Amino acid sequence: MSNSNIEMNNARNSVYQLLSSLFAKELNRAMLEELNGDNAQAFWAQLATQPEFEHYVKTIVDTLANLNTDDDLLELAADYCGLFLVGNKHSASPYASLYIGDKEPTIFGPQHQQMLTFLQEKQLQLHSDFSEPADHIAVILAYAGHLSLSADETHQLSYLKMNLANWLSNFVAQVKKTDQGVFYTAVAKLTLAWVNSEIEWLS
């Protein structure tokens, strides 16, 4: 792989890791400062140069810029909680298993097992602070980032198609329907746009 390709893949990985971290847990003060920092702002700006990302990035950046108080952060945390930490049908549970298949199954199902197998193959496991099933969207995105650095394009493409693209749009629709704020809807839509662009590019 050329240096240029390595650089490109590092950039792709950064996007995956950023999206993963936004789904992984609520924003705290340190994350907010980082996301509002100069490097991140430049990163956001560069992302926004793509028309398909522009609108969502703007919403995200505007929201981040207006999170002034701890109470603002708590309100956002409540959005996060309502979407991702409770319930199923009427929230937007971030687990692949709840979207794949026609019946609503239980959590820690086959998709969880599938992701655990993937991780083990790459000598990876879930971080001990992350007490979630392995088919959580944050894990699927982080692993996609990992693959962008370590797997061939065919493999990456099939992974995205088999494990993310097949449920992502349903998930995003559910987030849009349930979100009380705008932030996580924008993050979800940005994720969908990003994954679509990836699939197009890898194809």
Distance CA 161, CA 148 (A): 14
Angle between helices 70-80 and 183-202 (to 10 degrees): 60
Site for another protein in 118-157 (CB under 8 A): 119-120, 123-132, 136, 138-139, 142-143, 146
* 58 close to 48: Cβ distance less than 8 angstroms: yes
* Residue 86 found at the interface with another protein (CB under 8 A): yes
Site for another protein in 41-70 (CB under 8 A): 42-43, 45-47, 49-50
Handedness of CA 159, 194, 196, 176 (dihedral sign): positive
**With CB under 8 A as the contact rule, which of the stretches 86-94, 155-163, 168-176, 185-193 interacts with another protein?**
86-94
Task: For the CB of residue 74, give the shortest distance to another protein in the complex, in Å.
Answer: 6
Q: Which of 28, 150, 154, 166 binds another protein (CB under 8 A)?
A: 28
Q: Is 125 left (phi over 0), alpha (psi -120 to 50) or beta?
A: beta
Nearer to another protein, 133 or 172 (CB): 133
* Residue 203 found at the interface with another protein (CB under 8 A): no
